[in-house]
Amino acid sequence: MAYDIGIVGLGVMGQNLAKNIERHGYSVAGYDLDQEKIRNFSEAAGDSAAAYGASSLSDLAMSLSAPRRILIMVPAGNPVDSAISDLSPHLEEGDILIDGGNSFFKDTERRFAALQSAGIYYIGCGVSGGEEGALWGPSMMPGGEQKAWEHIAPIFQAIAAKADDNSPCVAYIGPRGAGHYVKMVHNGIEYADMQLIAEVYDVLSRGLGIPPQELHTIFSEWNRGELQSYLIEISADIFSQMDPETGNPLVEMILDEAKQKGTGKWTSQNALDVGAPIPTINAAVESRILSSLKSQRIEASKVLHGPDPIFDGDRQKMITAARQALYAAKVTAYAQGFGLLHLASEEYHYGFQLHDIARIWRAGCIIRARLLGDIMTAFRTEAGLVNLLLHEAFRTAVEDRQSDWRFFVQQAVGMGVPVLAMSSALAYYDAYRSERLPANLTQAQRDYFGAHTYRRIDREGVFHTEWKQRSSTS
């Protein structure tokens, strides 16, 4: 029997994708360096003729129909290069390799070029949704040669998550490393969204003394409105979970050190490369780094003093302000992420269709939210939209919440509760809406100490001033 697609890497993600593929009527052959995982894969298949555990990469290659379609589900970095190197002797011109991991987009660009010279198609495909998404429907972001996409499209469209309008949450993203680039930015937005939610939790918990059980009720209510999203939903669930060992809310028993795998950091680094301002994503990355300084923070808490985090105002007003501030900041974070995609599309000639990217994020992925339907509509109906904040619907939504947003940030700062992401989102909004910023002084300083020149507001040209130097005796 010739199988429709092969999977290299039978960890949980690989296994679940295989089950998803088989459930939708396609046959799949699997291989892993770990023989135990191959046995588990074969045992799970049972008597099904639609799944096959290959004994070697040669066996895997021989079992597949032409052109071979092989999905690589191994950790990013050197394991991907090793898998490609080991597979290459068994491939023929026109075969298709698909990297479904969280690879850095420039690594994907390099692999694409190397395999293209050998006549092998390479697709870098972002996959979001975690283990459950892999099994029941992820959001998928494939980039590479469009001809290769056409060969895998039926399978990917079948296994992808379906939005409310039943459209599959997968689309051809663009050439070369475009798919992994979009997944990287997705994860950057995810960092920002998670940090904004965490900061609201911190203010309500520390500042207002709201216990997790009540936060569960508050977040559940929010999830029925404009904030409806996967991350709000799971946050509400987390607040309701009790620790069986201590009887305390489990969230309060978890050490306050957030880990990261690097995709958020890549987003921040690349935004600097292309000149895109994403301060809320950057703040989220920095907040995770700050959280890792646990031992330092313990010592600092003993010697660095500030106000007591106690809110003594109208409790319901603060809860309402938190809700409105969270929505406004989320819109601003998405505006930053899509602004980065806009600039990167031009920089790398990716040809991103921003409405399509919003469309495939509506279900399956970690940042799926009601908000994304509105973002899709905004980019679809307003050609040339460069920033979500300029779209009438989002401009109005943020302006209507502006007073609550400022109140929330002011109260948090007054209480000494850190809101790096929330305050950076507000500062971005204020900077973006400012016709004039203090960069004129920055340019004067640069010209003063380095003769870097400046432009004027009243005439064209580039200018330099011989600034009066301060005397050494003054």
Residues that are catalytic = 183, 190
Angle between helices 392-415 and 420-432 (to 10 degrees): 130
Angle between helices 371-381 and 392-415 (to 10 degrees): 140
The edge-to-edge listing of strands for the beta sheet with 96-99 is 51-53, 28-31, 5-8, 69-72, 96-99, 121-128, 139-144
Identify whether the C-beta of residue 113 lies closer than 8 Å to the C-beta of residue 94.
no
Q: Identify the helix (H) or strand (E) that includes residue 106.
A: helix 105-116
Residue 438 is given by DSSP the state T
Q: Which amino acid is at 21?
A: I
Q: Environment class of residue 153 by beta-carbon count within 10 Å: exposed (0-12), middle (13-18) or buried (19+)? A: middle
Pick from 156, 179, 118: nearest CA to 357? 179
Q: Say how many residues make up the chain.
A: 474
> What letters, b where the CB count within 10 A reaches 16 and e where it falls short, cover 117-147?
eeebbbbbbbbbbeeebbbebbbbbbbbbee
The structure tokens listed for 20 are 């998803």
- Whole-number Å distance between alpha carbons of 99 and 85: 13
Q: Which amino acid is at 60?
A: L
Identify whether the C-beta of residue 215 lies closer than 8 Å to the C-beta of residue 232.
no
Identify whether the C-beta of residue 29 lies closer than 8 Å to the C-beta of residue 7.
yes
- Whole-number Å distance between alpha carbons of 336 and 279: 8
